[in-house]
Amino acid sequence: MTLKLNSEQLSATAALAVDLIRIPSVTPDDKGCNQLMIDRLSALGFVVEPMRFGNVNNFWARYGSTGPVLCFAGHTDVVPSGPEEKWQSPPFQPAIRDGYLYGRGAADMKGSLAAMITACEAVLTEGQNLNGSIAFLITADEEGAAIHGTREVINTLEAREEKITWCIVGEPSSTNQLGDVVKIGRRGSLHGKLTVHGVQGHVAYPHLARNPIHQAMLPLHDLSNEVWDEGNEAFPPTSFQISNIHSGTGVDNVIPGELEAQFNFRFSTELNETLIRQRTEAILDKYELEYTIEWKLSGLPFLTLNQVLINAVRESIREVNGVLTQPSTTGGTSDGRFIAPTGAEVVELGPCNASIHKIDEHVRLADLDELSKIYQGIIRRLLA
């Protein structure tokens, strides 16, 4: 059953989530989402600093001038909706069905952003003095290139020695129930583009050519079967995955002159970029290939070991919904990879992730209110 939305009948968190979802902020254009958040935060007394880099709008907002600093980090950009005709309701026209709020960005991560703001509104309107500061680091460049967003804001903060002590990233971390999983780290991500150079020729005269497809088979097999590490208590073993292979001219009587293969490493703290590159190139060199390789590091692995933030998160979740949370490092990358190297403790906590990036993305309405209460509990535990 689909209900017609009436903001007066929604909780403060759900109503704000609805307002954010209505804005078609497909990466990297926030379409005014940032301003909507800025207006709410400014009304609370936050000092807001818009930061535009390249074609991306970001902002840094801070309430208080002393440390420690608890930062809420997130992104207003969303991935494209896909075929709109396949959605039960238009992706940017929020709808409620059977207790769930539907719309692009509901779970990833406009629901979290709404909960962050209403949590601050609830705490700060109590008039309680804080032993430190609350901050927001918001970007519209997380789902896209991630070049002019959080990375640049962090560079700016570091240059003026403005430090984040604890950071809650609102990524949808939960699996089956709100708060059952929180991310305390992420694997690193390293991309490679391998070009194997051969000699083009006629298939009937292979002695006059050099087939890069044939040459690449064994080294790619070895790379796929290499045991890169065994992982550790916090991380699974490093994985290597080939994502694309391209070669050939499109006809069946020409030996191609090149093969291009794209691959990715998701790596644990047992390895680093240098070791991965050295071991990869050693395998390629064993087969005496003529090749070139381009590397792109998307992010280093990070792990929060200090228990101060983790305990505050764990206790707040248990207080609100009784869930015993499980720390995890699984999944892809997040903007936490840019924040953690500054020395900040980073935890990702948000709603269930089963529908993110899918048709009919949704979030449980009750989870939005519980998430706001959990965020409130974290603020009080760390700064009250």
Considering only CA atoms, which of 38, 14, 64, 45 is closest in space to residue 137? 38
* 351 has pLDDT over 90: yes
Q: Residue 108 has what pLDDT?
A: 97
Quick one: 56 exposed, middle or buried, by C-beta within 10 A (0-12, 13-18, 19+)? Answer: buried
Separation between Cα atoms, residue 348 and residue 281, nearest integer Å: 35
What's the pTM value of the predicted model, to 2 decimals? 0.88
Judge whether 319 counts as a catalytic residue. no
Q: Residue 331 has what pLDDT?
A: 84
In the chain, % of residues over pLDDT 70: 98
Q: How many residues does the chain have?
A: 384
Q: Residue 333 has what pLDDT?
A: 84
Separation between Cα atoms, residue 263 and residue 16, nearest integer Å: 40
Q: Residue 129 has what pLDDT?
A: 86
Find the catalytic residue in 29, 30, 77, 348.
77
Q: What is the pLDDT of residues 247-282, one digit of tens each?
A: 999 999 999 999 999 999 999 999 999 999 999 999
Judge whether 121 counts as a catalytic residue. no
* 2 has pLDDT over 70: no
39: which residues sit within 8 A by CB, 6+ positions away?
Answer: none
Quick one: 88 exposed, middle or buried, by C-beta within 10 A (0-12, 13-18, 19+)? Answer: exposed
Average pLDDT of the chain is: 95
Find the catalytic residue in 29, 108, 141, 142.
142
Separation between Cα atoms, residue 270 and residue 49, nearest integer Å: 38
* CB of 12 closer than 8 Å to CB of 121: yes
Confidence of residue 306 (pLDDT cuts 50, 70, 90): confident
* CB of 340 closer than 8 Å to CB of 346: yes
Place of tokens 């395998």: 283
AA letter at 173: S
Q: What is the pLDDT of residues 9-39, one digit of tens each?
A: 899 999 999 999 999 999 999 999 999 999 9
* 1 has pLDDT over 80: no
Q: What is the pLDDT of residues 129-180, one digit of tens each?
A: 899 999 999 999 999 989 999 999 999 999 999 999 999 999 999 999 999 9
Q: In the chain, what is the straight-line distance between the N-terminal and C-terminal CA atoms, in Å?
A: 42
* CB of 17 closer than 8 Å to CB of 111: yes
* CB of 197 closer than 8 Å to CB of 259: no
Considering only CA atoms, which of 114, 112, 113, 117 is closest in space to residue 174? 112
Average pLDDT over residues 348-365: 97
12-21 and 33-44 helices cross at what angle (nearest 10)? 150
In the chain, % of residues over pLDDT 90: 93
Average pLDDT over residues 319-324: 97
Place of tokens 């997130």: 74
